[in-house]
Structure 1
Amino acid sequence: MRVLLTGSSGWLGRHLAPMLREAGHGVTGLDVAPGQETQEIGSVADRGVVDAVFARHGIEAVIHAGALHKPDIARFPRQAFVDVNVTGTLNLLEAAAAAGHDRFVFTSTTSLMITQTIRDETAEAAVWLDEESGPLEPRNIYGATKLAAEHLCRLFAADTPLACLVLRTARFFPEEDDTDRRLPGPNRKANEFLNRRLTVEDAARAHVLALEKAPALGFDCFVLSAPTPLRREEAAELKRDAPTVIARHFPDAPALYARAGWSLPPSIGRVYDASRAERVLGFRCATDYAAVLGALRDGCAMPFAHDADYASPVLAGRPR
């Protein structure tokens, strides 16, 4: 199948393109910035660019991973987010429907599920988040535009033969957290495998599977995160005393962290539940918190990427 992959120069795109080829697909990468996996330079916000790419490459399916992201809020005006994340998605959906496609995979984000109240973690118990969580009240323009794009996918799946799968990915970026530097990057990322992170490789594998499964599922939306070892009935204790809960599941975790000079999270305020993706889509992340502890135990490299110097390719071009 000839697949258009948007955001092909980005962190996900550069990992996803080779997996698509390994699965037997032809891949055309579209991005505003050059990259090893990018054949076409241009913005999805430009319908002329989208139509030209479809015509030149005989596109048969779309994986729309290109977007302006949360760190871009400091770099671009709100209108740019609407142009890229909303109008760009509409352009691709219309082109795909006009071409008679039967599948469209959209990379969304768990960020749109986080209200300001959830972000502030003022509740007495950890909040469990899955596909049924709501009401959805995104706290910034990034989340608001990604939610609008999800609604467009839903509309096209209802009104056309185009099956659309929405993948709400948890964190998989390699760079430092742009809002919290209290812990070293690798320590923070390791902690997040308990409740809100996955590897970029797992994110890419999920997209390949979604491309295969979309026609049979029609429209659906899935939270993607490493499987959490935590349980809903532990929600209050997680907020009050997360290390005790973690040690209950992983008795050697405190000693392993101490040896590494790391800190367990004192409190966990939210947990992403990706169990529906496993039940319905048939996808489960290969890397989980146990794998992180295994690497600490064996003195091996962490099973996730950390690059404090990583710079988004969007800085090399206009919004994609």
Structure 2
Amino acid sequence: MQILLTGSSGWLGRFLAPMLRAAGHRVTGLDVAPGVDTDVIGSIADRALVDRVFAEHGIEAVIHAGALHKPDIVRYPRQAFIDVNVTGTLNLLEAAVAAGHDRFVFTSTTSLMISDAIREERADEAIWLDEQSGPIEPRNIYGVTKYAAEQLCRLAHLEHGLACMVLRTSRFFPEDDDTHRTPSGENLKANELLYRRLTVEDAARAHLVALERAPEVGFGTFLLSAPTPFLRSDCAALKRDAAQVIACYFPDAAELYAAKGWEFPKSIGRVYDASQAGQVLGFRCETDFRAVLDALRERTPLPFAHDPGYVSPKEAPGGGVT
């Protein structure tokens, strides 16, 4: 198929585009910033541009990975989030419907599921999060606009029969967390593979599976994260003493961490359950926390990317959201 990939210059796009081509698809990349997989530079908020790309490139399906993200809140006004994340998604959906497409894959985020109460970990135990969790109360403009875009996908399916797959990805960014300074970047990412992270490679693979399964499923919302070793029954203990729970599941982890100079989280306030993606799509992330321990044990490279100097292409000279 001829796939339109938005966000083709971004972190996910640089992994997803080659995977799509390897699977036999032809890719047209659209982004506001130049990149090796970007064929058209422009904004999805520009409906005329979207229509022109569909017509000139014979687009047959869309993977919509382009967006303004949470770190962009300090860089762009709220209107920019609405223009890109909401209007841009609507432009793509309407163009896909007009072209008679049978599938549309939307990259969403688990961030929209995190209310202020969950973010501040007010509960007495860890919150178990899956596709049935709610009510959805996004805590910032990023979450609000991504949730609105999800609902536009749902309406496109209900009103026009467009098969839409909404993928709520947990963290896979390579840079340091913009709100945490300790533990270190690699240590934090390793810890998060227990409960709120996946690799960018797994995120890309999930999009390929969703693209293939979309016509059969029709509409679905799927949380994507590395498989957690924890159970719902662990939630109270995870909030009270996460290190003890981790040690029960991975007896040699403490020694491996100590040799690296790493530390376990003292408390875990939320856990993402990605089992529905396995049950419905047959997708399961290949990399989990056990892979981290294997790498530490065998002294091989860590199984995830960490680049504290990473800068989004749209923030580099020549990038932008207009």
State the TM-score bracket (shorter-chain normalisation).
over 0.9
2:251 aligned residue: 251
5+ residue gaps, structure 2, are none
Give the 5 Å matches for 1:1-320: 1-316=1-316, 317-319=319-321
Tell me how far apart the structure 2 counterparts of residues 161 and 245 of structure 1 sit (CA, whole Å). Answer: 45
Tell me how far apart the structure 2 counterparts of residues 95 and 305 of structure 1 sit (CA, whole Å). Answer: 35
3-state SS of the aligned residue for 2:55?
Answer: helix
3-state SS of the aligned residue for 1:134?
Answer: coil
| Aligned amino acid, residue 212 of structure 1 | E
Tell me how far apart the structure 2 counterparts of residues 319 and 224 of structure 1 sit (CA, whole Å). Answer: 26
Deviation at 1:183, TM superposition (A): 1.1
Tell me how far apart the structure 2 counterparts of residues 264 and 122 of structure 1 sit (CA, whole Å). Answer: 21
Tell me how far apart the structure 1 counterparts of residues 123 and 135 of structure 2 sit (CA, whole Å). Answer: 16
Deviation at 1:314, TM superposition (A): 1.7
Tell me how far apart the structure 1 counterparts of residues 16 and 202 of structure 2 sit (CA, whole Å). Answer: 10
Q: Is the 8 A contact 1:44 1:84 kept in 2?
A: yes
Deviation at 1:122, TM superposition (A): 1.5
Tell me how far apart the structure 1 counterparts of residues 169 and 275 of structure 2 sit (CA, whole Å). Answer: 13
Tell me how far apart the structure 2 counterparts of residues 200 and 15 of structure 1 sit (CA, whole Å). Answer: 7
Deviation at 1:182, TM superposition (A): 1.4
Tell me how far apart the structure 1 counterparts of residues 256 and 54 of structure 2 sit (CA, whole Å). Answer: 52
Tell me how far apart the structure 1 counterparts of residues 314 and 169 of structure 2 sit (CA, whole Å). Answer: 19
Q: Is the 8 A contact 1:4 1:29 kept in 2?
A: yes
Show CA shifts across 1:235-263 (max 9, x none): 00000000110000000011000000000
TM normalised by structure 2 equals 0.99
Tell me how far apart the structure 1 counterparts of residues 139 and 93 of structure 2 sit (CA, whole Å). Answer: 26
3-state SS of the aligned residue for 1:283?
Answer: coil
3-state SS of the aligned residue for 2:91?
Answer: helix
3-state SS of the aligned residue for 1:28?
Answer: strand
Deviation at 1:318, TM superposition (A): 2.0
Q: Is the 8 A contact 1:101 1:161 kept in 2?
A: no
Tell me how far apart the structure 2 counterparts of residues 302 and 74 of structure 1 sit (CA, whole Å). Answer: 31
3-state SS of the aligned residue for 1:248?
Answer: helix
Deviation at 1:4, TM superposition (A): 0.0
Show CA shifts across 1:144-173 (max 9, x none): 000000000000000112100000000000
| Aligned amino acid, residue 281 of structure 2 | L
| Aligned amino acid, residue 64 of structure 2 | H
How many corresponding residue pairs?
320
| Aligned amino acid, residue 64 of structure 1 | H
Tell me how far apart the structure 2 counterparts of residues 110 and 144 of structure 1 sit (CA, whole Å). Answer: 12
Tell me how far apart the structure 1 counterparts of residues 3 and 234 of structure 2 sit (CA, whole Å). Answer: 43
| Aligned amino acid, residue 218 of structure 1 | G
3-state SS of the aligned residue for 2:144?
Answer: helix
Q: Is the 8 A contact 1:107 1:167 kept in 2?
A: yes
Deviation at 1:112, TM superposition (A): 0.2
Percent identity over the alignment?
Answer: 71
Tell me how far apart the structure 2 counterparts of residues 234 and 199 of structure 1 sit (CA, whole Å). Answer: 24
